[in-house]
Amino acid sequence: MRSFLYQRATDPDMAVQALSADAAANNPLTQATAQPLAGGTTLIDLMKLDVMRPAAIVDINPLAGGWSAIEPGGENLRLGALAKMSDVAAHDEIQRNYPVIANSLKLAASAQLRNMATLGGNVMQRTRCSYFRDVSYENCNKRNPGSGCAAMDGVNRMHAVLGVSDQCIATYPGDFAQALIALDATVEITGKSGSRSMPFSELHKAPGNSPDIETTLQPGELISVFVVTGRWPRSVYLKARDRQSYEFALSSAAIALDVRDGTIRDARVALGGVATVPWRAREAEALLKGQKFDDGLAQRAADAAFADARGRRHNSFKIALGKRVMARALQQAVTMEI
Amino acid sequence: MTAAAPEPKANMGQPVPRYDARSKVTGRATYGSDMPLANPAYAFLVTSAIAKGRIDNFDLDDARAVRGVIDIVTHENAPKLKESKLFSNGGYAGTTIQPLKSPDIAHDGQIIAVVIAESYEAAREAANRVKVGYTIATPSATFDSPGTTTAAAKGQNSQFKEDPKVGDFAKAFEGAEIQLTASYDTPTQHHNPMELFSTSCAWIGDDLVIYEPSQYVHGLKNGVAEQLGIDADKVRVVNPYVGGGFGSRGSMTPRTAIIAGIARRLNRPIKLVPTRDQGFTITTHRAETRHEIKLGARRDGKLVALRHEGAEVSSRPDAYCVGGTKTTTRLYACPNVDSLVSIVRADRNTPGFMRSPPEVPYLFALESAMDELAVKLNMDPVELRRINDTTTEPIGGKPYTSRSLMACFDEAGKAFGWAQRSRQPKSMAEGDWLIGYGCAATCYPTQMGPAAARVRLQRDGRTRVEIAGHEIGTGAYTVIAQTAAERLGVPLERVAVFIGDSDLPPAPVAGGSNSTASTCSAVMMVCDQIRQRLFKAVMPSDSLTEKAKETVGISQAPSTQAAKSDRPLDIEKAFDALGVGVVEEYGEWKPEGAPLDSFRAMHSGHVRLVGGHQMKDKIAYAFGAEFVEVRVNRFTHEIRCPRLVGAFAAGRIMNPRTARSQLMGGLIWGMSSALLEATEIDERSARYVNDNLADYLVPVNADVPGVEVILLSEQDDHINPAGAKGLGELANVGTNAAICNALYHATGQRIRKLPVRLENIEV
């Protein structure tokens, strides 16, 4: 870890100001010299590993008073960006009306991490690609733009098959983001010029030719709230992984359905562990809508979701696995008692 | 009695709580890097980012600019150190690749610089700022990599003298009614003990004190002295507690003498705490192995031919190998046996001992093959073992001192519910999960080494036991205290035990599961010396002395038996008769068949373990049987292991609580070595990729919901005075095969390569 300046922001303006200090430098957010600190469960790790070298840390935990609300009561569900994963996962109404959210959080990380980590930090967590996290590997387009990708022909069992480019195949590692994608959530952002909101699905950027740019957030911008419209009791999160707990997904599926009289009126499908960004399977959704559910339909939807998947030496299995996980999650969502 | 403290059966000690339990759970136990140093400087390692080549230049300007940096040591200015031979070759070292000697790089993560600073943080930051220019050569990573060389182990490794064989394998296999040929692979693994590989060195004049987690303080002391070119009596290694070892701390690593040398030059204590990922390359590892097994059998299951060929990866300079054929060729009755072990040299660090080094990979192959043979024979795999059970090993025809293998199978099978297994693969399921039952045998050689002890008894019964054993989490303090208390007839709470210090009388390396047998036998002997002195004092008549000797002399019987038949000793009366306040005895014990130079070697930090198949007219092993239930999700193919049941017989069980704990940990290790643990190698660069505990998977509690350990009563009067067989490395053997055997039962698919991942399952 390198020496850094520690600042504590007591209100959003102060946080935004401190984080925008070097906006003129035109750095992508991941390279910004000032980084926000919430739970610290990713940032501190990456600083110890010398992957991130911020000159300043802006502790935004004092904003928790206004930014950690869990409000499932009204028309919309509002979740503050500084709410702890564990608090949201344990919330009765979340469990009842948004099981995909509760389970995506409960199946992530460990109890200790969930107690520390915030929702905003969770969606911003960076890839677990071993080559990205080890600075002794020179070739990483995410860390050193233009240096190449060591994972492409290296050990890539954990890497992505969807949304990949020739520059990067690093997997987006989180779980909760898939739930937000499936629920078509909106994210509210606080920045220098006030607040803005956008669909959560527009937050993350596929690597393309610039894997170092991971989101559409600018330096000085902070996520303040996630908003979900409506209630989604018929929703599931299914996660396949190497061990029973405390492990990232090899493949996961977040499903939210509106089924009436045996017909799928609305279907939302998001995939995790297999893609470079939280992945929405729109082709699959289109196939499902308006149909009566059967196993054949689930299979066709899964095939559609992975039609463009590209496997490499160690991760090709994720294509077949991802289809089975998605089809099984659809079955579970259709048959669940609500 | 609770599950954690099982009721002792015949020939078992009491399940007393751990001697060090309170100090450990309250955080009072001090580990190496906890030891206070006066005005220390902090070291941080820089390790190589290439596996083969040379360093062209360092750019240290940025690093030196970090406030608090004192010095940066590279091959250009490192203290000159003498070389040490390999541990298994009569030396002390785990590798003969000596870093900081030249610009050459021989493996990934080799130490190439040491930053010394006023704080850990400054040293680490500066290390991150060191820039290195390399000339990179193409390395050979592992099996099948271009540029590796392969040769038979025999003739290049002094510990591997012979490929065991007997009869005419080729002919017998050719003519066998049933033949099986199968190949198996096991991966690279790393020990990952919780305590990092720290080293603190402090000089007081010409005397050096080293605080370092070590499994062999006398070896490390002598090894470091040799490298520094100083008298071994000038070096003291202290580690009252060690946060796990698993073999990784048995031999000396290059870091210790380097830190000691820098501390001498700087004239200041230095503390080094390497990172978890550096631990993957600055110490040893379990090498990846390959096996081919050929079994020939009669239709009734009797083995007529067995061949085991193994290959192991080692470094360029060191011919390290584990050669587990010494065990697999002797486990079952078979008249025609052949074997061959080869070593493949690659651009890697030298591998080393990791918990049951030979047995984990080699029994995976044999115990998987036995299951495959049982399938071919349409026979219960337990019955196949029963048919081929033996009381003499087939290579030399020597009798096992005791062997409770089938009793273990029967006990564990009963507890597990093996009878409820339906024979056909893919025939058991529950909900989304296919269920499989599998089993395998385990065994581990009973080994002992020369050990010395000093025991002091006071008039009020207070007892002080000193022996340079090691508390690596196994319960060494506890069983040594129990042994002294029993032997002297004093209350357990009166016994104080001092271990983990090379100023104490030497004990062997805490490896090869010899510690309990060796240290307790030595402590028993010295306690008996004290008893004899006291008896002589109260019963001066010759005839009575002889009688006393008969009952309390250096008995070959287990201590409880001797203790029970002894008349109680009135310590106060004896002290009065002797006219002293304290009785102190020192003694050196060596096992039957120990070489002539045993005690000389013991004092110079060389290990002389005897036992296993190397005994003259007998062979000594501990045995066990393990049953596992696996579940395979038919949709995700996830593999889980809800139940592990093992039954074990290991001679006298000194303490059922600590024994159970070790065996339970072993079962979990065994499961882990089948389903989770593997160090991934980038074949292009011969570098480790998942060198951290997030990516190198070990089980979490949710992975091991059901672990049951059954201790069998067994008495063996032919091994050592303590009557104990080592069991620390018994339970993690064979579990890997049991898992794959259960996976076959669950899915109908035979998997011969570890670890098994969900992508290897086709259902």
The shortest CB-CB distance from A2 to any of B125, B680, B689 is to: B125
pLDDT average, residue stretch B163-183: 98
User: pLDDT value at position B39?
Assistant: 96
Nearest CA in chain B to A318: B759
User: pLDDT value at position B572?
Assistant: 84
**B250-263 per-position pLDDT tens digit:** 999 999 999 999 99
Instruction: Place B744 in a pLDDT band, splitting at 50, 70 and 90.
Output: very high
Burial of B519 (0-12, 13-18, 19+ CB in 10 A): buried
Select from A138, A125, A166, A140 the least CA-distant residue to A278: A125
**A156-204 per-position pLDDT tens digit:** 999 999 999 999 999 999 999 999 999 999 999 999 999 999 999 999 9
Interface check B121 vs A, CB under 8 A: yes
Instruction: State how far the Cα of A78 lies from the Cα of B623, in Å rounded to an integer.
Output: 60
What ranges make up the beta strands (E) of B395-458? 429-430, 433-445, 447-448, 451-458
Report CB contact under 8 Å: B703, A247.
no
Instruction: Place B560 in a pLDDT band, splitting at 50, 70 and 90.
Output: very low
Helix (H, G, I), strand (E, B) or coil at B463: strand
Report CB contact under 8 Å: B689, A246.
no
| Predicted confidence (pLDDT) at residue B556 exceeds the cutoff of 60 | no
CA B302 to chain centroid, in Å, comes to 33
The shortest CB-CB distance from A154 to any of B277, B684, B691 is to: B684
Interface check A1 vs B, CB under 8 A: yes
pLDDT average, residue stretch B110-119: 98
**B68-79 per-position pLDDT tens digit:** 999 999 999 999
**For chain B, how many helices (H) and strands (E)?**
19, 28
pLDDT average, residue stretch B364-371: 98
**B-chain residues within 8 Å CB-CB of A106?**
none
User: pLDDT value at position A28?
Assistant: 83
**B429-478 per-position pLDDT tens digit:** 999 999 999 999 999 999 999 999 999 999 999 999 999 999 999 999 99
- For an interface test with B, the pick among A241, A242, A316, A325 (most B C-beta atoms closer than 10 Å) comes out as A242
**pLDDT, mean over chain B:** 95
Instruction: Place B88 in a pLDDT band, splitting at 50, 70 and 90.
Output: confident
The distance of B101 to chain A (nearest Cα, Å) reads 22
The shortest CB-CB distance from A242 to any of B633, B681, B757 is to: B757
**A-chain residues within 8 Å CB-CB of B681?**
155
| Predicted confidence (pLDDT) at residue B564 exceeds the cutoff of 50 | no
Interface check B108 vs A, CB under 8 A: no
Helix (H, G, I), strand (E, B) or coil at B148: coil
| Predicted confidence (pLDDT) at residue B497 exceeds the cutoff of 70 | yes
Report CB contact under 8 Å: B703, A242.
no
Instruction: Place B548 in a pLDDT band, splitting at 50, 70 and 90.
Output: low
User: pLDDT value at position B532?
Assistant: 85
The shortest CB-CB distance from A1 to any of B49, B124, B633 is to: B124
Instruction: Place B563 in a pLDDT band, splitting at 50, 70 and 90.
Output: very low
Question: In B283-420, where does DSSP find H-type helix?
Answer: 325-328, 359-377, 381-387, 405-416
**A78-111 per-position pLDDT tens digit:** 999 999 999 999 999 999 999 999 999 999 999 9
- Catalytic residue, chosen from B118, B177, B729, B762, is B729
User: pLDDT value at position A242?
Assistant: 98
Residues 6+ apart with CB under 8 A from B711: B6, B9, B12, B647, B648, B649, B653, B656, B659, B660, B663
**A40 φψ region: left (φ > 0), alpha (ψ -120 to 50), beta (else):** left
Size of interface A-B (CB pairs under 8 A): 85
Report CB contact under 8 Å: A240, B758.
yes
User: pLDDT value at position B577?
Assistant: 86
H/E segment holding residue B150:
strand B149-152
| Predicted confidence (pLDDT) at residue B544 exceeds the cutoff of 50 | yes
Respond yes or no: is residue B309 known to be catalytic.
no
**A-chain residues within 8 Å CB-CB of B46?**
none
| Predicted confidence (pLDDT) at residue B562 exceeds the cutoff of 50 | no
Interface check B717 vs A, CB under 8 A: no
pTM: 0.96
Interface check B425 vs A, CB under 8 A: no
**B237-246 per-position pLDDT tens digit:** 999 999 999 9
| Predicted confidence (pLDDT) at residue B585 exceeds the cutoff of 80 | yes
User: pLDDT value at position A23?
Assistant: 62
pLDDT average, residue stretch B359-374: 98
Nearest CA in chain A to B705: A244
Instruction: Place B543 in a pLDDT band, splitting at 50, 70 and 90.
Output: low
User: pLDDT value at position A83?
Assistant: 98
The distance of B69 to chain A (nearest Cα, Å) reads 13
| Predicted confidence (pLDDT) at residue B549 exceeds the cutoff of 60 | no
Interface check B55 vs A, CB under 8 A: no
Interface check B753 vs A, CB under 8 A: no
Instruction: State how far the Cα of A274 lies from the Cα of A269, in Å rounded to an integer.
Output: 13
The shortest CB-CB distance from B676 to any of A110, A242, A251 is to: A242
Nearest CA in chain A to B689: A130
Select from B1, B6, B2 the least CA-distant residue to B710: B6
Report CB contact under 8 Å: A321, B758.
yes
Select from B484, B117, B94 the least CA-distant residue to B287: B94
pLDDT under 70: residue ranges of chain A: 23-25
